[in-house]
């Protein structure tokens, strides 16, 4: 039996919500587990990520031993320093791309975003869908609605809305008015623009936030996942946020 169902949320489209393009970059969230074999080379981004907790395995120090010298004097051998080995961060496999069953009404080629379970579905033929893990709007920034993809950009620039700049400044966090595309840009590797709104589906330089309600309304994906989606959809694709 096909089991994928999308719970419908009440229409809370952003009439009273301050939109933004990149989400709150400062929320303290526990690290999500990222599969090292599937995340390379994007996992290199985590080396500069603030707030990442990495468990470290410490090599056991050898016991202090003595050595018998020719003159009969017993001297202590040099004690080797402990060597720390950092483990790679990992992500819950549920948020990795996978094929799932689908029995909803949407036509193949439609994108459906479930903001309660933090999944994005690209509907395919024969009762299937390609599912990705996403980060969605945090409390107070949730929204729902249907739009078309109106633009696609690789390594997009970021121009934070004036409302976001003002909101963050009130917290003592000062955002740039412009940031060129690249690895340090919060929009990540690709961006899909939704209608005439300031919302978009985009990559992120904070992949550990995937699977949480963390943004100011935009839909975040791992960089490798948004690149994959970018190649599969065209301008004009319907996007339903529920």
Residue-level pLDDT at 90: 61
Residue-level pLDDT at 162: 85
Q: Beta strands 145-154 and 219-220: pairing type?
A: unpaired
pTM for the structure as a whole: 0.64
DSSP character at residue 227: H
Quote the CA–CA distance of 193 and 15 in Å, as a whole number. 18
pLDDT in tens, the chain (242 residues): 444 444 444 443 344 444 444 445 555 555 554 444 444 444 444 444 433 333 333 344 334 344 444 444 444 444 444 555 455 456 789 999 999 999 999 999 999 999 999 999 999 999 999 999 999 999 999 999 999 999 999 999 988 888 888 888 888 888 888 889 998 899 999 999 999 999 999 999 899 999 999 999 999 999 999 999 999 999 999 999 99
Quote the CA–CA distance of 24 and 43 in Å, as a whole number. 21
Residue-level pLDDT at 24: 52
């Amino acid at each position: 039996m096909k089991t994928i169902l999308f719970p419908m949320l009440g229409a809370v489209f952003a009439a009273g919500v301050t939109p933004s393009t990149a989400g709150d970059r400062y929320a303290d969230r526990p690290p999500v587990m990222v599969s090292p074999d599937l995340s390379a080379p994007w996992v290199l981004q985590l080396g500069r990520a603030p707030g990442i907790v990495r468990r470290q395995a410490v090599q056991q120090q050898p016991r202090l031993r003595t050595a018998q010298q020719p003159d009969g004097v017993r001297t202590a051998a040099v004690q080797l320093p402990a060597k720390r080995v950092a483990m790679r961060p990992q992500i819950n496999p549920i948020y990795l791309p996978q094929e799932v069953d689908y029995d909803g009404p949407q036509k193949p080629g439609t994108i459906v975003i479930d903001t309660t379970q933090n999944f994005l579905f690209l509907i395919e033929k024969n009762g299937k869908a390609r599912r990705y893990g996403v980060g969605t709007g945090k409390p107070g920034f949730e929204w729902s609605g249907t739009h078309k993809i109106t633009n696609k950009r690789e390594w997009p620039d970021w121009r934070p809305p004036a409302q976001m700049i003002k909101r963050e400044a009130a917290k003592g966090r000062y955002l740039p008015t412009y940031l060129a595309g690249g690895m340090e840009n919060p929009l990540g590797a690709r961006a899909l623009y939704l209608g005439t709104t300031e919302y978009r589906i985009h990559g992120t330089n904070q992949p550990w936030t995937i699977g949480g309600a963390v943004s100011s309304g935009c839909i975040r994906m791992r960089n490798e996942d948004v690149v994959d989606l970018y190649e599969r959809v065209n301008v004009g694709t319907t996007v339903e946020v529920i």
